[in-house]
Structure 1
Amino acid sequence: MSHVSKASLADSSQYESYSESYFDTLYRGNTDPWQYQTRWYEKRKRDMCLAVLPQSQYKNGIELGCGNGVLSELLARRCQALVSLDGNHQAVQLAKARLAELSHVKVIQGVIPVKLFSLKAALLEAYPLAENTPVMAAPFDLIVISEILYYLSPTDIDTVIAWIQQNLAIGGTLLCCHWRYAIEGFVMTGETVHKRLHHAFNLMANDKHQIAFNHQSQILDSDFLLDVWQRSQSSVARQENLI
């Protein structure tokens, strides 16, 4: 998601919990409210996200806040199995249509963070024959969170962080990307979200009982923040025995 159409659609009450009406308004009569498919800004950002992923292929990925599935379609090329999750019914229908021919991608509807704790049940409900497919396996070795966390309360963001800590596989990758500017009606911004992520993972690095999240990459674009963590000590060069 980007900044387009965000202003004036939210009110302060939506900061405390997910608002169906906010996203329903965006998708009403509009299959691409952030113009993912037409804006160079969005294509450039997607290309940068894909380029900084430290592995060429992942076994089992999940995208939180998939929208109409434009990024999911590209992530699917890098994943043997992919779960795409969004809270909005219209967005999910659009994503399902876009990804219909990709049998290794499962699209489900659910509000973050609540749905994260019942993913298997949600997948089985949406795809009854999926139980024995790789997409049912946890933890995930790729978690992508793009343009969604600033819509959540700080408490819900902390819940997502705790879920990541429990569900990112050893050696796995976490990618987070968010718009830097303020969004009318929402307290959190990309800046505050990424500070919160850095703080949480820095604390993990100091806990001998935790497997650290190592900061792999960071892009401080004028318009967005992009951070990648690896649950591994191996950089790309180390993975290929260059050092």
Structure 2
Amino acid sequence: MSFDHREPGTDPAAWTAFLGTVPSGPVGLDGFGSVVVVAPHPDDETLGAGGLIARAADDGVPVHVLLLTRGEHSHPDSPTTTAADLATVRDAEFAAAVRLLHPDATVTSVGIPDGATREHRDRVVDAVAGALALGAGSTLLVAPWRGDGHRDHRIAGEVAEDAARAAPGTSLLAYPIWTWHWDDPTASAAPWARARTLRLTEDQLERKRNALATYRSQVSPLSLAAGDEAIVDDRHAEHHLRTTEWFFAPEPVPSRSQASFDAHYERKPEGWDFDGSWYERRKRAVTLAALPRPRFRSAIEIGCATGVLTAALTERADAVLGTDISAAPLEQAARRAPDARFVQAALPAEWPSGRWDLVVMSEVGYYLSPSDLDATIDRVLASLDDDGVLVACHWRHPDDEAVSSGDAVDARLAERWPRPALVRHVEEDFVLSVLPGPAVRSVARDEGLVR
């Protein structure tokens, strides 16, 4: 997308008429311990999320604003100023604007050259990860919409989407900036089906208006000379000074498909090196050692693959069911574990009937979308006996085929599970948690060693 800010762009009144027809979900800060706002340039935080920052101040929610560039190339044809001078001016404007919106907000200025986030993407990735690490509890990450039409906004949006998926407890909202200028509400390219809105109080809108006014280098001409025109003139500002701020929720990420697993087993019939790898054999031993009882009545393994762990479970349970989304590995699993039963099932939708006192989810959770993971947890809770346990074990390193991460899955399990983990084993390569039903006691108590 290319556009010229000097052109009049879309009439704000056209957007007003359109927005009145758009259903949207509300934006709320309840449950968030912190907010991180990513601004590619000084004033993006105010234009796109100034009202949200002000709301966070009113609600007592900490805010950290991550400024990627100093915006020094906003007037590349100016005959009256230099990029270095503009950087200094915009630094001061940014600090003043943030103070007006949220006096206690903290800021980080990364200092990437304006217009060069693509060439410095690694720095953007590190900066966003660092900002998220500063937060406490669940974090709301707010960044530009990746389709906004400016490449610095695109990079910031893409990195934020990746970071939100990888960081446990992080939710994402994306704000449009230049979309209002170049997009056409009669044939919009924006994802309005995922729209979210924050209605501002009069005071919050006034603080946003005052914060924008501090950006004198952007809202007023630098001089009367050609090249010194205002970047955000009154017409542009009208898009952003509505009583409602508009955001886009991220596109739902689907679970990994059956076709991708089928293709994997076609390439590698054994799937992964479950038998030969010491890592796999050791992890399996740790998983079995973590089981709190020597014997179980009925066990189910979700995503059993070729049945190596399933075979071991048959030595610890009277009845064992293994499930997998792909048919190919189940043929090997049936030969490897003849005492177990196997069914092909795409979970959570095709959840087998039955009750279990042992559910094993090993290297599966991060292939599920957030909604499918939550639905799977619900299925487990509904079918687990009171004295049963869920054993979840997940790889902690990146996986190109994964939807999320092992740490994200473990964090979500801990958040959703009614009781604290009976066992939580964390090492560099994997995390293993044993989550108990309501009647489960510690091994020592069951043995009578503790009263």
Normalised TM-score (structure 1): 0.78
Distance across 2 between alignment mates of 1:191 and 1:30:
27
Distance across 2 between alignment mates of 1:186 and 1:47:
24
* 1:139 Cα offset (Å): 1.7
* 1:215 Cα offset (Å): 1.5
The answer as to whether partners of 2:391 and 2:432 remain within 8 angstroms in 1 is yes
Q: Which has the higher contact order (CA 8 A, sep 6+)?
A: 1
The match for 1:228 among 414, 425, 434 is: 434
Distance across 2 between alignment mates of 1:238 and 1:164:
25
The match for 2:425 among 188, 207, 219 is: 219
Q: Find the counterpart in structure 2 of residue 4 from structure 1.
A: none
* 1:96 Cα offset (Å): 1.3
CA deviation profile, 1:6-57 (whole Å, cap 9, x unmatched): xxxxxxx994034122112221153322100100000000000000100000
1:192 and 2:399 correspond: no
Distance across 2 between alignment mates of 1:226 and 1:79:
20
Distance across 2 between alignment mates of 1:113 and 1:55:
27
The match for 2:360 among 140, 144, 164 is: 144
Distance across 2 between alignment mates of 1:196 and 1:14:
17
Amino acid at match of 2:444: A
The answer as to whether partners of 2:321 and 2:341 remain within 8 angstroms in 1 is yes
Change (3 A) 1:78 1:185: closer
The match for 1:20 among 243, 258, 276 is: 258
Q: Find the counterpart in structure 2 of residue 109 from structure 1.
A: 344
1:158 and 2:365 correspond: no
CA deviation profile, 1:170-199 (whole Å, cap 9, x unmatched): 111110000012222533100101110001
* 1:83 Cα offset (Å): 0.6
Q: Find the counterpart in structure 2 of residue 7 from structure 1.
A: none
Normalised TM-score (structure 2): 0.43
Q: Find the counterpart in structure 2 of residue 207 from structure 1.
A: none
> How does 1:120-139 map onto structure 2 within 5 Å?
120=353, 138-139=354-355
CA deviation profile, 1:67-112 (whole Å, cap 9, x unmatched): 0000000001000001100011101111112123x1xx21010111
Paired residue secondary structure (1:66)? coil
Amino acid at match of 2:412: R
Amino acid at match of 2:343: I
Amino acid at match of 2:260: Y
Distance across 2 between alignment mates of 1:87 and 1:185:
15
Distance across 1 between alignment mates of 2:283 and 2:252:
27
Amino acid at match of 1:168: L
1:171 and 2:387 correspond: yes
